[in-house]
Every structure is written in structure tokens, then in C-alpha cells.
């Protein structure tokens, strides 16, 4: 099974720190899972301009293809100005309408304060639903108080991270088995 972690911002460090912790949990506790962390800060992604996703080249094509080929995604996003960053929204704009059909998507959200806890509900979940994702309902919400000198310092956050990783895998395995069973029924 292949799971992509997507750090959805090109600025700041908190989301990147949280996603690195997620990557470590996958690597330490689930070595049988192929996990790849894509940090958008490391890629030259062009803005969506209405072309078919296969018509893009370079990093844009590479990232979109990896997302499309994955069984599940763990999306990490900061909240800026009560919204998700444009870099993450651009990734969604590059994808076709059914890009995430039957793919499990979980979320790790970093924000300056608890006042932004509804942003994933009113912005991110509708986009993911439009792309036909199977959304893990409980997402991880991390605020500035959980960080100290650039490091995550809250054991409860690590516990919730482990639950998010385990739940993502369990749900992704269930959907993968369903797809495989469905494919076998129609394999002539």
C-alpha cells in the first residue's frame, strides 16, 4: 500500500515539523507501508490553468501523478488568514474531479490559535468531498502552544498522531480490499 504525505505550504515550519513526525511514525511502526512525504516547498509547481492534469510537466506532473497513484493521503496544512494556503488549493485545482475516488484522506492542521478549528470543516472537507475522497473524520489540530522552539512538545499530540496514522492505514486497507475484490469480479 502506498500513502502520500502532503505538506501543503511553501512557508513556515510547523506543518513541516508535524508532517515529519507523521512520516517517522509510518516508518517506525508500519515499515510494510510505502510512505512518501511530499513537501511542496521542495517542488516547482505551476498554477493550474485549466489543462488536463496529464498535460503538465516537471514537478507539477510528478506530484499530481504521485497523488493519483496513492492509496491514501495525509494532508498537512497550516491555516493562514482563516484559510488553507494557495499552494495546497492549487494542488486540488490541478486534480481531475474524481482524483481521490475511494482514496482515504486524513488531515493534520496547524494554526496559530484554536479560533481556526472550523477551517478544515468549512473549506478542506468540501474540496476533498468534491474530489470523491473518503475522509477520515477526526483530524489532528495542532496550535502554537503545542510547539516549543520549533519542536512538538505535547505527548497527547503524539498519541493522537499515532491514532491518525493507524486509522488512516486501517481505512485505506479496507478500501483497497474492496477495490481489489471489485476488480476481481470484473476481470475477464
pLDDT computed for residue 181 by the predictor:
86
Specify the pTM: 0.93
**Each residue's pLDDT tens digit in the chain (188 positions)?**
999 999 999 999 999 999 999 999 999 999 999 999 999 999 999 999 999 999 999 999 999 999 999 999 999 999 998 999 999 999 999 999 999 998 999 999 999 989 999 999 999 999 999 999 999 999 999 999 999 998 999 999 999 999 999 999 999 999 989 888 888 887 65
DSSP letter at 46 equals P
**118-147 burial by CB neighbour count: b if 16+ within 10 A, else e?**
ebbeebbbebbeebebbbbeebbbbbeebb
Strand spans (E) along 28-145: 34-39, 72-78, 104-111, 134-135, 140-143
3-state SS, residue 48: coil
Q: What is the pLDDT of residues 36-51, one digit of tens each?
A: 999 999 999 999 999 9
* Residues found in the chain: 188
* Domain 2-185 superfamily per CATH: Flavodoxin domain (3.40.50.360)
Domain ranges of the chain: 2-185
Q: How far apart are CA 61 and CA 79, in angstroms?
A: 26
Amino acid at each position: 500500500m502506498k500513502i502520500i504525505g502532503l505538506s501543503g505550504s511553501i512557508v513556515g515550519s510547523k506543518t513541516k515539523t508535524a508532517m515529519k513526525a507523521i512520516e517517522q511514525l509510518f516508518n517506525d511502526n508500519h515499515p510494510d507501508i510505502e510512505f512518501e512525504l511530499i513537501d511542496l516547498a521542495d517542488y516547482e509547481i505551476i498554477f493550474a490553468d485549466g489543462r488536463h492534469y496529464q498535460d503538465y510537466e516537471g514537478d507539477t506532473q510528478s506530484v499530481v501523478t504521485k497523488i493519483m497513484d496513492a492509496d491514501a493521503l495525509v494532508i498537512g496544512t497550516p491555516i493562514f488568514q482563516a484559510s488553507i494556503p494557495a499552494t495546497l488549493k492549487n494542488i486540488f485545482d490541478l486534480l481531475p474531479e474524481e482524483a481521490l475516488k475511494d482514496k482515504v484522506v486524513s488531515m493534520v492542521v496547524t494554526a496559530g490559535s484554536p479560533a481556526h478549528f472550523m477551517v478544515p470543516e468549512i473549506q478542506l472537507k468540501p474540496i476533498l468531498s468534491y474530489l470523491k475522497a473518503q475522509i477520515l473524520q477526526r483530524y489532528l489540530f495542532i496550535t502554537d502552544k503545542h510547539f516549543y522552539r520549533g519542536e512538538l512538545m505535547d505527548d497527547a499530540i503524539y498519541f493522537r498522531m499515532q491514532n491518525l496514522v493507524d486509522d488512516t492505514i486501517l481505512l485505506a486497507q479496507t478500501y483497497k480490499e474492496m477495490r481489489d475484490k471489485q476488480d476481481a469480479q470484473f476481470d475477464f
